[in-house]
Amino acid sequence: MRTLLNIIWLLFGGIWLWLAYMIVGLFACIFIITIPAAVACWRIAGYVLWPFGRRVVDMPGAGAGSCLMNLVWFFVAGLWLAISHVTTAFFQAITIIGIPLAIANLKLIPVTCFPFGKSVISDSQAPII
């Protein structure tokens, strides 16, 4: 079921969201100091491309640096990417088949706004952690 949902997700919004994250990550590479933001952006891009069967968990030991980067990230890119998620979710929710996709899309917004101090893992790794 996860594979089917991921394929439907990919066709009806996932590829466009992935492309947006990749472009934002490339822009973040312009300045040396924002390269960690590019890495976080690309980490989320992989999650946005194939979200079902994976989850986001907090990384223990994330300190004040990740909090500061989350604040900067939110105003520079997180807010705009969150708006793209809301827009995509709106169009996905128009059909009955798209409602689960829209719900999953809205669940991506917290990690989109504050990606630092978080890690993406598969559901099979979740009981270990």
Split at pLDDT 50, 70, 90, the class of 94 is: very high
First CA to last CA distance, the chain: 24
Q: Are 36 and 69 in contact (CB under 8 A)?
A: yes
Residue partners of 94: CB distance under 8 A and separation at least 6 = none
Q: What is the pLDDT of residues 7-44, one digit of tens each?
A: 888 888 889 889 988 998 999 899 888 888 888 889 88
Q: What is the pLDDT of residues 99-115, one digit of tens each?
A: 988 998 898 999 999 98
User: What pLDDT is attached to residue 86?
Assistant: 94
Place of tokens 């947006």: 20
Q: Are 9 and 51 in contact (CB under 8 A)?
A: yes
